[in-house]
Amino acid sequence: MLVGYFTERPYQDPKSGLFGATGKDIQDLSLSNIDYDAMLGADLYNRYLDEKVYCEEMGFDAIMFNEHHSTPFCMGGVMNVEAAIVAKTTSKVKIVLNGNILPIWDDPLWLAETLATIDMISRGRLVTGWVRGTGRESVSHNSQPPFNWERFQEAHDLVVAAWTRPGPFRWEGEHYDYRYVNPWMRPYQQDPHPMMMIPGVVSRNTVAWAARHKYPYVMLSTRIEPTKLSFDYYREVAREEGYEAGPEHIGYLWKVHVDETEELAYETGRKFLQGPGNIFLEGSRGVASPVLQNLPGLTDRNNLLPTGQVGFVAASRGRSTSDADYSKPRAAATRAKAVKGAPKAKAPVAKAPAQPPAAAMAASYDEQLANYTIITGTPKTVLPKIRHVLETLRPGSVFFWDGDGAMTHDDTMRSLRLFGSDVLPAVKEMGDELGLISPFDRNPMHAPPIKGGRRAKAPAKKAAAKR
Amino acid sequence: MLVGYFTERPYQDPESGFFGATGRSIQDLTLSNADYDSKLGADLYNRYLDEKVYCEEVGFDAIMFNEHHSTPFCMGGVMNVEAAIVAKTTSKVKIVLNGNILPIWDDPLWLAETLATIDMISRGRLVTGWVRGGGRESVAHNAQPPFNWERFQEAHDLVVAAWTRPGPFRWEGEHYDYRYVNPWMRPYQQDPYPLMMVPGIISRNTVAWAARHKYPYVMLSTRLEPTKASFDYYREVAREEGYEAGPEHIGYLWKVHVDETEELAYETGRKFLEGPGNIFLEGSRGVVSPVLQNLPGLTDRNNLLPTGQLGFLASSRGLDQEAAAKSSRARAAQTRAKAVRGAPKATAAPAAPAGPRAGIQAATAASYDEQLANYTITTGTPKTVLPKIRHVLETLRPGSVFFWDGDGAMTHDDTMRSLRLFGSEVLPAVKEMADELGLVGPFERNPMTAPSIAPTKRAAKAPARAKRAPAKR
Amino acid sequence: MTTHTAPKAHTVELAGGEIHILEAGSGPPLLVLHHSTGALGWRPLHEKLAETNRVILPDMPGYSRSTLPEWARDPRDLAILMLQLLRKQGLRDVTLVGLGFGGFVAAEMATMNSDLIGRLVLVGAPGIKPPEGEILDQMLIDHGDYMRMGFRDEKTFQKFFPDLENSDVRSLWEFNRVMTARVCWKPYMFNRRLPPLLPGVEIPTLLVWGEKDRVVPMSIGREYARLLPNAKIEIVKSAGHLVDYEEPEKLARLIQSHAR
């Protein structure tokens, strides 16, 4: 099993009200970077980078980065800068990028060049994932939403070609044109190219695409049951493709905080939902902009995964733009949810930003503890819960999401230390016992063919890919 | 004075013949990256990055990176990756990027985001220069050459705006469109933004542009006399702009290798011209591709058809071969004088080394000694290089100097020997010289806040000073 | 070939610039759009065509003597300007002949206004991404070599350009390809938005390809033939890409049998 660490690197600034319980709204499109304090930014970047080195010391197999634009909940605006640094400041961990936002690149050859360089400097430790990005990313780099999915696929194909086809060659796709692809660099990993992982939350398209490419698919902090269904869908597509997906093909990321006492763990874990946390996640204080979530043509609405049915996701994905009252996004989101009839309205009830959301948040926090999307405790108490997740989902890669929201450096370091001393060794034993083979133990791209795959229906498959 | 170190990070691969005296041509457009060995690449990147850390230890003030694409003479295909790393692995040196190739970016907001992040991580040590790139770069990222200079200027303006104007704002320029510029990051340096340096070889446009922005201009390994003339031109534009350019506004990069003995220095210095050295530089083994040097519209040219062709077209019989031949004979001498076939004006590069590779050894040898004589290469022991460095400093009076070393066929050991001697015996003496000569560096006196002087006569010609004027050639 | 018409030169004001035109002959109007290298004056093809038609040979905007429209970014912009030229000159029912790149522009014109164009002739025209092969990229080779590849063989090339190295022709090409780089850098010599419009073009169209075309693959000719409802294709056996240089009389006859 591959065990990794993840944080979104929140921009924690008590002064500007973007951190803690100041109540400042961090809805997209409502912020100005004039509030950004670069001295604080310097401290935070260096803190998060130093924590990554400590992760390696503590025995994590991997460190994961992500990227978002124009938002305080994730400082990885150019994740590849961080990836470059840890390529040199660490020596063993896999550097998992989940992921570069392919469609917003007008010139994805930069990604092929950048990532090949990083893979070399790290001596083959790069795991390069791809995402489609959200409305926020499309707007920040002004990339046309209706072509998002097409550009995702073509940019991926171009990067792979730049890595594997001897140059020079010409590339004349639907969205990208090159007259001379021949970068003077190649990735260190050449079997056939750096490992890829595809993270996702709701898109069926992406799951199917990942399964067709035999790329491991990582579900991001989604609830256990719909996550299981999504993995089932991956396996189904895999069988159509003529191979059996194993644990090496699936990964799961969720929030785990370990601490010295049960009380400290509980109180510190609550900070996941404080500060500038990811607005897409249950219980976050942030507010997704329905405008950005509803850019024309960005998502294929008929193709959501079971996880997409969970109320909060539907709400944060902005099904509410038919409601003109953007100034009350939460109310709108709530109404939208009602309209859509989202199953299991257990999702956090939207809380009005004006009043301290303590009660709502507490409920949500406890609920998430109950449903395993957040786990807190001492090493002794978190292990059985982690085991439950492993047994239920059977992922070959897991990523513990910690040190986020309002958690301080000290909070993070306490947890990392305990992970190292008491949690990771036990988790790896569980992984072995449960046969949860990692993508580095068994190359997912070399999965052997099985009989009876519905591969014969090749044209139908192709059509599906074109969606 | 700011004293820095530079190498192009050559891809030194004896196996594939890109290194040493195997005689393999490294002309652009003739190579395939199928020959690229990424295990070797890993070793070389890590070697060059480790050497940068050693530069800081021995006392350099700055380390300089550059970027080229699809070529073995410079491994900095994505220089910002290296810049990011040294931002974390060093703690004092300035990180000088000379520079990011603005026009080949279709979405220069990435540069604003990337460089702001690096500036923060380094805690304000980034010096971010800009270049226009050669034909190689335009082709590698398929950027339209005719818009190179316009895109250079607009991309720069966009990056500066993203760093200094509070977001969100809209940007609707000639070449770039954004509906929402509001990156959640700002550079660490905010007075007014990270220091910029603009490197160049001979483009007057670029010199004038740098002078108008009060950005230090760094001449790259050019001969002393034309370098001096270019600096004079910078000062002239500065006076038109209403300020006096000082040493903080100019920089110079040249090849200096220090070694333990005079003989070792001489023999090791010769390696500058061996291996995959920069093909634009005197004595290099590489060959410039005339096609890439002559991309349509990459260099400035008249928008008017040259008069010779007008006469040709006026002949109503079109292909009048006799007339064409007659007029062509008249121009033949001039055409032949041009090393690059058919180049309208060889403005992008200094005279290219003559094409045929026969007799390269002799040519290289002559060129090496000649370059030693004209100071574009300096080699010796600390004792013997110092007077030569002093000569350069006195002649050019730069506030920033960059010693270019560890290039071509030089090994890690060659590089480390030189760096060690730089640290123990050369740098302290050079800094003393600079103090004595009053060579103020851009970090001692901010070039962007140079005080106003009474403008010269030509400054009255206000329209000529319009920022965009040179773009509209 | 012993006698020839002397073309009249004149200029037309268009979109704030000047278009230079050579013109001769009488009869139904026939507009010839030149290669991306530009027109080399009045040549045997034009002369032959002028025996039956009023032949109009403009320098397209940005080429040779015509003003460069700074704003133009796409061959489609040139097509719009050329349609404006037709309208301004009061030309209707025109036989539109496009040579090479000029054929790309002509095809774009045909999709926009079929009323002004009576007949269409595309000679070795790019404009469509080739189903097979690649369009030779003039930006990545010496421009003399680019021209050389336009001929069926070296001997024919030498016949036309014996001293290219020192020729003014070469400087003219160098000058003209700046405009090509401004409007046609990428995608190179095709427009993804052209093929879907071609089935709606009912103009009778003649496609002419040199059998030995090494610049624009014949697969593009077949694609035009497939997409245009009223098109036929003629292969000129003895020619390369530059049919108008190598076989002007054959080409003229083909055009004349198709033209108004």
pLDDT at res. A257: 98
* B359-371 average pLDDT score: 60
Written as one letter, the residue type at A260 is E
Tokens of C167: 């020729």
Chain B residues lying within 8 Å of C171, measured CB to CB: 306, 308-309, 342, 344
Q: Check CB contact of B113 with chain A, cutoff 8 Å.
A: yes
Does residue C177 belong to the interface with chain A, where contact is any CB pair within 8 Å?
no
pLDDT confidence of residue A413: 98
CB contact under 8 A, C168 and B309: yes
Mark which residues 24-63 of C lie under 8 Å from B by CB.
39-43
Taking all residues of chain C, what is their mean pLDDT, rounded to a whole number? 95
List C127's β-bridge partners, or say none.
Answer: C190
**What CA–CA distance (Å, rounded) separates B419 from B302?**
47
Q: Which pLDDT belongs to residue B273?
A: 84
How distant is the alpha carbon of residue C103 from its chain centre?
Answer: 4
Go through chain C and tell me how many residues it has: 260
Is the pLDDT at B466 greater than 90? The verdict is: no
Residue B364 confidence (pLDDT): 46
* A118 membership: H or E segment, kind and range: helix A109-121
Per the rule left: phi > 0, alpha: psi between -120 and 50, beta: everything else, B48 is alpha
Residue C182 burial class via C-beta count within 10 angstroms: exposed 0-12, middle 13-18, buried 19 and up: buried
Q: What is the mean predicted confidence (pLDDT) over B430-457?
A: 91
A-interface mutation test, from B49, B177, B182, most A Cβ less than 10 A away: B182
User: Higher confidence at residue B95 or residue B332?
Assistant: B95
Q: Cα Rg for chain B, rounded, in angstroms?
A: 23
Q: What mean pLDDT do residues B429-453 have?
A: 96
For residue B165, name the pLDDT band (cuts at 50, 70, 90): very high
Comparing B35 with B19, which gets the higher pLDDT? B35
**pLDDT at C124 (0 to 100):** 98
DSSP 3-state percent helix, strand, coil across chain C (nearest 5) = 40, 20, 40
pLDDT tens-digit map of A94-117: 999 999 999 999 999 999 999 999
List b or e across A245-267, with b for residues whose CB sees 16 or more CB atoms inside 10 angstroms: bbbbbbbbbbbbbbbeeeebbbe
pLDDT reported for residue B321: 40
Cα dist. C234→A268, C30, C124, C206, C208 in Å?
Answer: 79, 19, 11, 7, 5
Residue type, C130: P
Cβ pair B405, B7 in contact under 8 A = yes
Torsion on CA atoms B67, B68, B71, B76, rounded to nearest 10: 20
Question: What are A23-75's pLDDT values in tens digits?
Answer: 566 677 778 899 899 999 999 999 999 999 999 999 999 999 999 999 888 99
- The answer to whether the Cβ–Cβ distance between B77 and A184 falls below 8 Å is yes
Q: Pick from B347, B369, B348, B372: which is nearest to B254 by CA?
A: B372
Domain A2-289+371-465: homologous superfamily in CATH: Luciferase-like domain (3.20.20.30)
Pairing label, strands C54-58, C17-24: antiparallel
| Inter-chain CB proximity A142 and B178 less than 8 Å | yes
Query: Which chain A residues are closer than 8 Å to B183 by Cβ?
Result: 33, 69-70, 77, 140
pLDDT tens digits for range B178-232: 999 999 999 999 988 999 999 987 678 889 999 999 999 999 988 898 899 999 9
Question: Which subunits count as partners of chain B given 3+ CB pairs below 8 Å?
Answer: A, C
How far apart CA C161 and CA C148 sit, in angstroms, is 9
pLDDT for res A200 = 85
Q: How many CB atoms lie within 10 A of CB C162?
A: 12
Answer for the pair C120, C204: CB distance below 8 angstroms, yes or no.
yes
Non-local CB neighbours of C219 within 8 Å, separated by 6+ positions: C130, C131, C132, C133
A174 to chain C: nearest residue by CA?
Answer: C192
Q: Are A59 and A424 spatial neighbours (Cβ–Cβ below 8 Å)? A: yes
Number of structural domains found in chain C: 1
Written as six digits, the tokens of A281 are 């996640």
Measured CA to CA, the distance from residue B408 to residue C185 in angstroms comes to 34
Mean pLDDT score, B352-368: 43
Q: Does the beta-carbon distance from A167 to B32 stay under 8 Å?
A: yes
Residue A239: predicted pLDDT: 97
Size of interface B-C (CB pairs under 8 A): 109
**Which chain A residues in 141-180 lie under 8 Å from chain B, judged by CB atoms?**
141-142, 166-168, 177-180
* Most B-contacting residue of C161, C178, C188 (CB-CB within 10 A), to test interface: C178
pLDDT at C126: 98
Summarised one tens digit per residue, pLDDT across range B109-123 is 999 999 999 999 999
Nearest-angstrom CA–CA distance, C228 and C202:
7
pLDDT at B351: 32
Helix (H), strand (E) counts: chain B: 16, 11
Nearest to B123 among A32, A42, A85 (CB): A42
Q: Which of C42, C50, C76, C49 is nearest to C61 (CA)?
A: C76
Phi, psi (rounded to 5 degrees) for A171 = -125, 115
| B36/A184 Cβ within 8 A | yes
What's the pLDDT tens digit per position in B306-321? Answer: 434 444 444 333 333 4
Contacting residues of C for A178, CB less than 8 Å apart: 186
Q: What is the Cα–Cα distance from B57 to B409, expressed in whole angstroms?
A: 24
| Confidence check: pLDDT of A341 > 60 | no
Please indicate whether, in this complex, the C-beta atoms of C181 and B319 are within 8 angstroms of each other: no
C-alpha span between B332 and C165 (Å, rounded): 9
State the nearest Cα–Cα gap between A459 and chain C, in angstroms.
20
Residues in Cβ contact with A291 at an 8 Å cutoff, skipping those fewer than 6 apart = A29, A135, A318, A321, A326
The CATH code of the domain that includes C16 is 3.40.50.1820
In angstroms, the CA A289 to CA A316 distance is 8
Among chain A residues, the shortest Cα distance to C131 is held by A172
Q: In percent, how much of chain B has pLDDT > 70?
A: 77
Instruction: Report which of B4, B340, B299 is spatially closest to residue B133, judged by C-alpha positions.
Output: B299
Helix intervals (H) in A352-444: 358-370, 379-393, 409-418, 424-433
Higher pLDDT, A433 or B72: A433
| C-alpha span between A235 and A208 (Å, rounded) | 9
**What token pair was written down for B364?**
């290289």
**How far apart, in whole angstroms, are the C-alpha atoms of residue B112 and residue A91?**
29
| Residue with the larger pLDDT of the pair A436 and A331 | A436
Does residue A114 belong to the interface with chain B, where contact is any CB pair within 8 Å?
Answer: yes
Beta strands in B240-300 (DSSP E): 250-258
Q: Considering only alpha carbons, which residue of chain A is nearest residue B188?
A: A38
The lowest-confidence range among B157-161, B288-292, C185-189 is B288-292
C164 touches chain B (CB under 8 A): no
User: In whole angstroms, how large is the CA radius of gyration of chain C?
Assistant: 17
Which residues in chain C touch residue B290, judged by CB atoms under 8 angstroms apart? 142
Shortest alpha-carbon distance between residue C157 and chain A (Å)? 26
Inter-chain contact A168–B32, Cβ cutoff 8 Å?
yes
Q: DSSP letter for A336, please.
A: H
Chains that touch A (3 or more CB pairs under 8 A): B, C
Give the gap in angstroms from C-alpha C157 to the nearest C-alpha of chain B.
13
DSSP label at residue A319: T
pLDDT band at B334 (very low <50, low <70, confident <90, very high): very low
Please give, rounded to a whole number of angstroms, the shortest distance from the CA of B78 to a CA of chain A.
6
Nearest CA of chain B to the CA of A368: how many Å?
A: 29
Residue with structure tokens 């079971």?
Answer: A306
Q: How far apart are CA B283 and CA A139, in angstroms?
A: 49
Half-sphere exposure of B339 (CA within 13 A, CB side): 16
Distances A33 to A20, A70, A81, B171 between C-alpha atoms, Å = 19, 8, 20, 16
Return the structure tokens found at C106. Answer: 């002509």
Arithmetic mean of pLDDT over chain B: 83
CB B175 within 8 A of CB B190: no
Highest mean pLDDT (candidates A17-26, A347-356, A391-400): A391-400
Inform me whether the C-beta atom of residue C192 falls under 8 Å from chain A C-beta atoms: yes
Rounded-to-integer distance, Cα A314 and Cα B319, Å: 70
Q: How is residue C124 annotated by DSSP?
A: S
* Residue A232, helix vs strand vs coil: helix
Provide the pLDDT for residue A340. 40
Give B153's contacts (C-beta < 8 A, 6+ positions apart).
B209, B467, B468, B471
Q: What letter would DSSP give residue A448? A: P
Determine the straight-line distance between the first and last CA of chain A, rounded to whole angstroms. 33
Cα–Cα dist C51/C43, whole Å: 13
Backbone angles phi, psi at A440, to 5 degrees: -95, -10
Q: Quickly state the pLDDT bin for B100 (edges 50, 70, 90).
A: very high
Strands (E), chain C: 8-14, 17-24, 29-33, 54-58, 94-99, 117-123, 205-210, 231-236
In chain B, which residues touch C (CB < 8 A)? Answer: 29, 139, 142, 144-147, 290-291, 294-297, 301, 303, 305-306, 308-319, 321, 324-325, 327-329, 331-332, 335-336, 341-342, 344
The whole domain housing C84 covers 8-258
Fold exhibited by the domain B2-295+358-472: TIM Barrel (3.20.20)
Place of tokens 């959501």: A304
Q: C198-221 pLDDT, tens per residue? A: 999 999 999 999 999 999 999 999
CB pair distance less than 8 Å for A177 and C186: yes
C177 vs B467: which has the higher pLDDT: C177
B173 contacts in C (CB within 8 Å)? none
Q: Which residue in A has a C-alpha nearest to residue B165's C-alpha?
A: A34
Residues of A with Cβ-Cβ distance to B180 under 8 angstroms: 29, 70, 139-140, 142
Using an 8 Å CB-CB cutoff, list chain C residues near A174.
Answer: 192
Chain center to CA of B271: 21
What is the helix (H) or strand (E) element at residue A130, kind and residue range?
A: strand A126-131
Instruction: List chain B residues with CB under 8 Å of C167.
Output: 324-325, 328
> Residues spanned by CATH 3.20.20.30 within chain B?
2-295+358-472
Q: In the predicted model, is pLDDT for residue C125 greater than 90?
A: yes
Domain annotation covers residue C98: yes
Residues contacting C97, CB < 8 A, separation 6+: C30, C31, C32, C33, C49, C106, C121, C123, C255
Q: Do B142 and A179 touch (CB under 8 A)?
A: yes
Q: Report pLDDT for A350.
A: 35
Instruction: For residue B39, give both structure tokens.
Output: 């295990």
Compute the Cα dihedral for B146, B147, B152, B153 and give only its sign.
Answer: positive
The answer to whether residues C35 and C100 touch, using CB atoms and an 8 Å cutoff, is yes
Mean pLDDT of all residues belonging to chain A: 84
Count of beta carbons in the 10 Å neighbourhood of residue C131: 11
**Which residues of A fall within a CB distance of 8 Å from C140?**
179-180
Least confident of A186-200, A285-299, B54-68, C244-258: A285-299
Distance of CA C249 to the CA centre of its chain: 17
Put simply, the answer to whether B121 touches A85 (Cβ < 8 Å) is yes
CB A255 within 8 A of CB A221: yes
Strands C117-123 and C94-99: parallel
Lowest mean pLDDT among A2-6, A450-454, B103-107: A450-454
